Amino acid sequence: MLSIRSSHPDLEEFIDVKTIDGEITGANISIEIDNAFMIAVKEEKEYRLHFTVEDTGEVIEKFVDAKRIYKKIIENNMDWAEPGALYWDRISSYHFMSADPELSFDGVNPCAEEPLVGGGSCLLGSINLSEFVVAPFTSAAIFDFDRFIEAVHDAVHALNDVLDEGLPLHPLEIQRKVVAELRQIGLGIMGLADMFIKLGITYGGTQSLVLSEIISHMMLNEATRTSAMIARDLGSFTRFNYEYIEQSPFFQDNIVPEVQALVKEYGLRNSQLLCIAPTGSIGSMLGISGGLEPEFAFSYDRTTKSLHDGDMTYTVHADIVKEFMAVTGHKDENDLPDYFVSAHDIPWRNRIELQAVWQKHIDASISSTINLGEHITADEVMDIYMYAWEMGLKGCTIYRENCKRGGILVSTKGKKEEKATGYYSTCPECESENMVVSNGCVTCQECGFSPC
């Protein structure tokens, strides 16, 4: 991810960089927005841009109208879906090592779910929540918490094993050094939307918020417990200092006393434990919803050039619909229960509120895209980014239907699935032009390639 601080004097030029054809063609861009900027926007005050030249010590400084800059960011989001927002003060202050004065993040990974120090590396894995629903699609459906806890324990062990296996294979010495010192892992989730459907719960409704609070809090504490027990046997990550961990607001707010005691006694094997990636490619391969995202559409018309002689269009149904029909005997895919909600059916406030529940217990961050209708207003999008900041999100991004960045792929409900253009107009793996924005990231519908 290419990003720039909101206080940088080149901010306005950076905001427009993706609108210039061919200028930036191989990366997403975001603004590292600080609290001072958002406060200045709310109070309609000036905001200070400044930069110190390293060689001379000269300070470049100017003041700008924060509301005007904010509107410029919003307009580009509506047209191009970039730059995204990274709420940098929240990113910097709410994680296990936020009290360590020597640790600071230099940026984030390509989909922004993992903040990284210089030389850092992301090692991600995800648990499919939909597989823990017992008696799905029935009135007796429940979530199996005991099996979920076992899976969290296994996943933390597995990610640590992969980290050890891959440590000497990093190409740069600084990467090997930083990975060894911090041992960052990123355990996340996928299949959340499918889990809700199997339980008969509406994505973004009150029940979904309550269940998400329970699962995310449990996931964090069990991952922390496991990391502490691995530290007991193999030692803590090199830069572990309990005094700093104990001072972290994230640790104080979320870790239960029993687990805090284990961390104090044994340490932690990992400086970072949880993050939620889009899992676009993995979700597509497994036929489940990706990351924190709702189902984009339950059916759509897909045209293929590679599977037949000439174009052929056929209807694709989400696997969750097929499972529901198989279990319940329901025959009409156009008449599904009300809890079958797709991305365009969910109010943006509900999307933010659900993400905020999970973010409270995720020490890294979350990649998730809010899908918006074509006729959303600029004032509404301004409210979206402000509300995301107020709710404690670490990042926010939107995608407006039929914006300048996309074409269309028509769903069977008459809604439109965004087709990516620009630097992902052609798949780098199979050269297909069938690139679709879904699950918070662009994915090739022919071979499954995704940068996420």
Give me the pLDDT at residue 404, please: 79
Pull the structure tokens for residue 404: 């300048």
414-430 residue pLDDT tens: 444 444 434 455 676 77
Short-list 418, 441, 438, CA closest to 296? 438
d(CA 122, CA 14): 26
Partnered with residue 220 across adjacent β-strands are none
Give me the pLDDT at residue 362, please: 98
Q: What are the Cα distances from residue 70, in Å, to 44, 45, 64, 377?
A: 10, 12, 11, 15
Q: Where are the alpha helices (DSSP H) in 81-120?
A: 88-93
Percent of the chain with pLDDT over 70: 87
Higher pLDDT, 312 or 365: 365
279-311 residue pLDDT tens: 987 888 888 999 999 998 887 665 655 556 667
193, pLDDT greater than 90:
yes
The single-letter DSSP state of residue 152 is: H
Backbone phi and psi for residue 8, each to the nearest 5 degrees, phi listed first: -75, 135
Give me the pLDDT at residue 142, please: 98
d(CA 285, CA 12): 40
| pTM value > 0.95 | no
d(CA 140, CA 400): 38
Q: Name the least confident of 13-17, 136-140, 426-430.
A: 426-430
